[in-house]
Structure 1
């Protein structure tokens, strides 16, 4: 059975299921337009090529989202007809937005029975759902409308503070750690049973304006304030107020998630979770502490909708024929990879000097020497996190490396960096570990005193960290890199940030990696076994 999943919209992408193999990529990585909105032409072409599948051999086309506007639907149909032929409608199934989110979480969790939670800004008229997944079936038990949106509340706070809503919510979460909550926001949005209730009764820019009035914050100066914060200017009156607002919004989000989690605890089931709000690693940690463990789908935002649509259709067909069984997504290296032959030809074509190296030892030596290293290997990661295949690496022992990286990548100075940790060292470095060590950077933890001492560059100002656990079975070369670094430094962790300039997509091809390597002025670039130096 060959199933294609398509998301035509915000953060477009395509996924192909071929028996037990999964191929996935989002359009932004290929056309280099961050969070690209539209039809995923390049993604579809790429997953078909990766799987070596002819469009005519595709059994089902699963489209995420319901298309209510005639113009958009006709445009989608025209695109599908070009690729799959005039009979494409016979193969096409539309999967509602939040059902696709729920499917991405449940059908990748490896769980036979699970509570399935989705929370985002909005999609197909809803902003959250709660379902029970049982024996491959999803049964919805609660929901919130697009008006009663927790995700939109946080997006409006993001816009209020001068950042881009639907993109920079992570900056608000990072900024919150620098302040204390001083505003009580129960009059704005609260939990009502298993649903949320928005007392503002408006969303989007109208909600942003009402919040500006509530906080007495001058919306017309928001860009000026965010610009100052990005540069580390935090002591101005408005900047201090912005930090207090961020801290209050984050605290309220965590409070509502905690209240919801405690009510869901009575069901006695583990939780699978997806949707844009699932990007908030601090709130995810709240749920983890309630349930002991938590499965967050690694491509939790709209980038994962194509996966969810395809996974839902696949599961229903398997249930129909009595063949469904739980599936666990073990890794997200589901994107394009490039052979050593292709990379060498590329380097020769552009006359770039290189040398062959033993990658783990070479990178470990480079990190100990204080170098910034771009690492490009294997299949590209699916989802928002670089997990060792499209990563920039540095020595976590040196706190000054944060300033170097912020300058090189043009990042906001208040945003933290994350570590990749050997799985056997996870319990030493994490104080509040419950459940399995997290391999996808989908939640925060409290760093141990030892880790704060030995790896200050990857611990946030509030003592938390967002780690990736690395195993030899799943990430062989990357595991060896960290192990070699530990032999030299005594620390079983390295700083790992995504291989991209701020505001750009993570690199996909060797050409992308070379371009970003030069622009960021990194010290070394590793393309599989080939090392390139900055001159």
Structure 2
């Protein structure tokens, strides 16, 4: 039994027991978004899910090399509290970017690949590229934390008044509302398989230099961002902010394209992870270069996936020693906590709610969506990673564009951010204009929406005509697939709007209690949890 642990921001734990994988991030359990620290609740939860004890764990794979004495001593004390005085006999540390790259390679299903990791920084590096063959990974390129593509984008995020290392997706969304005006090649460039940061500073110092470069009022950035969040995109400074976002996004895509050309020449498929891999528009550029079926983006690509990477790396090395290593393809990420119908019904009793057991969940949910209802949907094991994929989701009718405003108000979202669809696997070729291979199942890729899809499902198409879909297979998530299938039968639209089941700024719900709290806070119309339909008050 191998336990992966990430002690840091986006802390979490993963337990691998043969073919069984259990995974959860601390934020889902302690309800502190992007929690930084030791994932005690996560460690105990994955052990509980596996019906295991600390004594059953053979190896503790720690993601990241600890260089600060205080942090290392705290980590050791936390491990000792769970695993006892001899815990050090089980510990193996796995370097940050090796864990990122391993998470992608060892879940890709490929025997040979280029394993790529790009983020802001970790263990002194900001990117790494490995040639991976037969389970072995050999690093062939890297960038230091100074030459960081991820930090460049984080600094732009901070410049525009958003939170760096958290709100980069807002910059990507905002970029679609304008055109790039600035040439940023003087800021950061590609150098072979590495990056060169010409500013020679990172973090807040880089943000200050970018403010000078763009002539942007850093002291007013948060106020301008707050106005854009509420929908004011037309003021002079707002338009400038949008041009900066568009320029940063265009430059990121340009660098990823240049890197993609150099990677393509290696003749291997690309397994990709790290914080920059969250940028679905840049991922689409890379996909078009190497081919749809030659790019795999690990679904938990940010630091929330590091525990997974550390665990699968150690597992692979042990299998290589025994001559047992074989390629493994990750088919789904429903790896988190689940709750039985009995547990759910016991929880619902005495809560002052009206609820009833639903005999045909797909038909019930499809009817509710047709009636314009916002549905909180909760079933089975929670998703691992940043995306809700039908087990902890809020669903709505994608054909009703007005639903976007309702959801933005209900969830307190920024109005310029798009919503995404979950669509039937067999409809992907019809709905995605630039699909040239296997559809994406994890919302890690942007596509150009077809004319038919733009017309049928305007609520899940961004202003630039792109969409970030989850293609749903019946054999992977049968109930969710059948909801979309029923909705298709009733409306002709083979997709639903799917946004994560959480208030803006909060973690995705994990437990029925979390779901009920968010259901009430957002004032959703109905909550469907493990086959029970729940209403806040008596229906009229």
Is the TM value for this pair above 0.5? yes
Partner residue, 2:176: 177
Partner residue, 1:329: 330
- Asked whether 1:313 is paired with 2:314, we answer yes
For residues 28 and 75 of structure 2, the distance between their equivalents in structure 1, rounded to whole angstroms, comes to 21
Q: State TM-score, norm by structure 2.
A: 0.99
For residues 54 and 536 of structure 2, the distance between their equivalents in structure 1, rounded to whole angstroms, comes to 43
Partner residue, 1:339: 340
For residues 390 and 143 of structure 1, the distance between their equivalents in structure 2, rounded to whole angstroms, comes to 37
Q: After TM superposition, list the pairs within 5 Å mapping 1:40-59 onto structure 2.
A: 40-59=39-58
For residues 98 and 443 of structure 1, the distance between their equivalents in structure 2, rounded to whole angstroms, comes to 22
Following TM superposition, by how much is the alpha carbon of 1:352 offset from its aligned partner in structure 2, in angstroms? 2.3
Gaps of 5+ in 1: none
Following TM superposition, by how much is the alpha carbon of 1:434 offset from its aligned partner in structure 2, in angstroms? 2.2
For residues 91 and 151 of structure 2, the distance between their equivalents in structure 1, rounded to whole angstroms, comes to 31
Following TM superposition, by how much is the alpha carbon of 1:533 offset from its aligned partner in structure 2, in angstroms? 1.7
Partner residue, 1:420: 422
Alpha-carbon displacement from aligned partner over 1:225-267 (angstroms, at most 9, x marks no partner): 1001001101111000000000000000000000000011111
353-362 or 491-500, which moves further after superposition? 353-362
Contact 1:131 1:138 in 2 (8 A): yes
Partner residue, 1:122: 121
Following TM superposition, by how much is the alpha carbon of 1:215 offset from its aligned partner in structure 2, in angstroms? 0.2
Report SS of the residue matched to 1:354: strand
Alpha-carbon displacement from aligned partner over 1:324-370 (angstroms, at most 9, x marks no partner): 00011100000000000000000014242201112100000000000
Alpha-carbon displacement from aligned partner over 1:479-499 (angstroms, at most 9, x marks no partner): 000000001000100000000
Give aligned pairs, total: 534
Report SS of the residue matched to 1:119: strand
Report SS of the residue matched to 1:144: strand
Q: After TM superposition, list the pairs within 5 Å mapping 1:382-531 onto structure 2.
A: 382-531=384-533
For residues 413 and 351 of structure 2, the distance between their equivalents in structure 1, rounded to whole angstroms, comes to 29
Following TM superposition, by how much is the alpha carbon of 1:57 offset from its aligned partner in structure 2, in angstroms? 1.1
Contact 1:359 1:528 in 2 (8 A): no
Report SS of the residue matched to 1:121: strand
Report SS of the residue matched to 1:253: helix
Partner residue, 2:379: 377
Alpha-carbon displacement from aligned partner over 1:461-517 (angstroms, at most 9, x marks no partner): 000000000010000000000000001000100000000000000000000000000
Gaps of 5+ in 2: none
Partner residue, 2:111: 112
For residues 215 and 480 of structure 1, the distance between their equivalents in structure 2, rounded to whole angstroms, comes to 50
Contact 2:300 2:385 in 1 (8 A): yes
Contact 2:22 2:50 in 1 (8 A): yes
Q: State TM-score, norm by structure 1.
A: 0.99
Partner residue, 1:295: 296
For residues 414 and 437 of structure 2, the distance between their equivalents in structure 1, rounded to whole angstroms, comes to 32
Partner residue, 1:98: 97
For residues 176 and 51 of structure 1, the distance between their equivalents in structure 2, rounded to whole angstroms, comes to 44
For residues 115 and 455 of structure 2, the distance between their equivalents in structure 1, rounded to whole angstroms, comes to 38
Q: After TM superposition, list the pairs within 5 Å mapping 1:207-226 onto structure 2.
A: 207-226=206-225
For residues 437 and 223 of structure 1, the distance between their equivalents in structure 2, rounded to whole angstroms, comes to 38
Partner residue, 2:241: 242
Report SS of the residue matched to 2:114: strand
For residues 3 and 126 of structure 1, the distance between their equivalents in structure 2, rounded to whole angstroms, comes to 26
Partner residue, 2:167: 168
Contact 2:400 2:457 in 1 (8 A): yes
Partner residue, 1:21: 20
Following TM superposition, by how much is the alpha carbon of 1:193 offset from its aligned partner in structure 2, in angstroms? 1.1
Q: After TM superposition, list the pairs within 5 Å mapping 1:119-268 onto structure 2.
A: 119-268=118-267
Following TM superposition, by how much is the alpha carbon of 1:147 offset from its aligned partner in structure 2, in angstroms? 0.1
Report SS of the residue matched to 1:267: coil
For residues 465 and 96 of structure 1, the distance between their equivalents in structure 2, rounded to whole angstroms, comes to 34
Contact 1:28 1:34 in 2 (8 A): yes
Following TM superposition, by how much is the alpha carbon of 1:290 offset from its aligned partner in structure 2, in angstroms? 0.4
Contact 2:353 2:535 in 1 (8 A): no
For residues 364 and 69 of structure 1, the distance between their equivalents in structure 2, rounded to whole angstroms, comes to 53
Q: CA RMSD in A?
A: 0.5
